[in-house]
């Protein structure tokens, strides 16, 4: 094991830099977008009347950087596994064509949504919540910086999915890049505090099967309901979707919630 670590050690700084930069870029760009648009275009789309404190944001950034380090260590393990031939991560199309890339990527998103829902619900169990998930819920009013704000045990659970999936399904390197990029952007958007999705995401409309910022914000505000990540499927199936979510999302995209909150 020591020899393997020494053999591949030169890759670790690059993996760490990529994981950290991905988080900072996604969160930083959305934060900049909100700073520019929140006073104008998005002013009626603020979900909670409360604002996160500066201490909240500092805690979130520091713990998110810690999570990025943990993700990079897990990514380093996956890198070793791929280099040693224990898992298959390929770069060309000799092994499988573009259709396989698209199908395997779609499967990965569906599998991740199921993984996230069930591990998330499990971490809300009263015997596990304090160890795994309490730290993330210190952000009752989430910000873009909440995205990676996990305890060490939760960061390991969150970061383990990619390695577990690739151990079972051969993946193109481009598909993995797309998956991780979409995952972190969706994560940041889910914690933005402002509804960033258009009215087409209203439940019952053509994109209504997707989760939104409002859905996850309700989870943080109330500490329960809405455990899914990308999609509403598991929450609908298991009866864990907040019953008032559709009406609240519709009111927010219509600008009614912010208007009613103003004196």
189/238 Cα distance (integer angstroms): 24
101/93 Cα distance (integer angstroms): 9
Specify the residue for token string 């439940």: 203
Residue 79 burial (CB count, 10 A)? 19
pLDDT in tens, the chain (263 residues): 778 877 788 999 999 999 999 999 999 999 999 999 999 989 899 999 999 999 999 999 999 999 999 999 999 999 999 999 999 999 988 888 899 999 999 999 999 999 999 999 999 999 999 999 999 999 999 999 999 999 999 999 999 999 999 999 999 999 999 999 999 999 999 999 999 999 999 999 999 999 999 999 999 999 889 999 999 999 999 999 999 999 999 999 987 664 444 33
Per the CB < 8 A criterion, the answer to whether 27 and 188 are in contact is yes
SS3 224: coil
pTM of the predicted protein model: 0.92
124/240 Cα distance (integer angstroms): 12
247/245 Cα distance (integer angstroms): 6
Radius of gyration (Cα) for the chain, nearest Å?
19
Per the CB < 8 A criterion, the answer to whether 96 and 47 are in contact is no
CA torsion through residues 91, 188, 121, 20, sign: positive
What is the domain partition of the chain in residue ranges?
8-261
Give the phi and the psi of residue 53 in degrees, each rounded to 5. -85, 165
> Beta strand 89-90 with 171-172: parallel, antiparallel or unpaired?
parallel
Cα of 17 vs its chain's centroid, Å: 19
Per the CB < 8 A criterion, the answer to whether 151 and 135 are in contact is yes
């Amino acid at each position: 094991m020591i020899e393997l670590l020494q053999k591949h050690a030169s890759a670790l700084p690059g993996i760490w830099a990529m994981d950290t930069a991905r988080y900072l870029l996604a969160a930083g760009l959305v934060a900049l977008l909100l700073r520019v648009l929140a006073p104008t275009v998005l002013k009626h789309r603020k979900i909670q009347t409360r604002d996160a404190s500066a201490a909240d944001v500092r805690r979130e950034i520091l713990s998110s950087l810690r999570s990025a380090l943990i993700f990079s260590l897990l990514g380093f393990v996956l890198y070793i596994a791929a280099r040693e031939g224990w898992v298959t991560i390929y770069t060309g199309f000799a092994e499988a064509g573009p259709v396989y890339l698209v199908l395997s990527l779609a499967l990965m998103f569906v599998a991740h949504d199921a993984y996230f829902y069930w591990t998330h619900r499990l971490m809300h169990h009263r015997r596990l919540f304090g160890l795994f998930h309490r730290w993330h819920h210190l952000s009752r009013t989430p910000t873009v910086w909440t995205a990676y704000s996990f305890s060490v045990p939760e960061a390991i659970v969150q970061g383990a999915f990619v390695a577990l999936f690739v151990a079972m399904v051969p993946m193109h390197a481009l598909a993995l890049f797309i998956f991780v990029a979409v995952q972190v952007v969706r994560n940041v958007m889910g914690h933005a505090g402002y509804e960033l999705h258009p009215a087409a995401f209203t439940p019952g409309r053509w994109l209504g099967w997707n989760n939104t910022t409002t859905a996850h914000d309700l989870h943080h505000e109330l500490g329960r309901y809405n455990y899914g990540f990308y999609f509403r499927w598991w929450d609908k199936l298991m009866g864990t979707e907040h019953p008032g979510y559709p009406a609240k999302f519709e009111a927010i995209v219509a600008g009614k919630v912010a208007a009613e909150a103003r004196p």
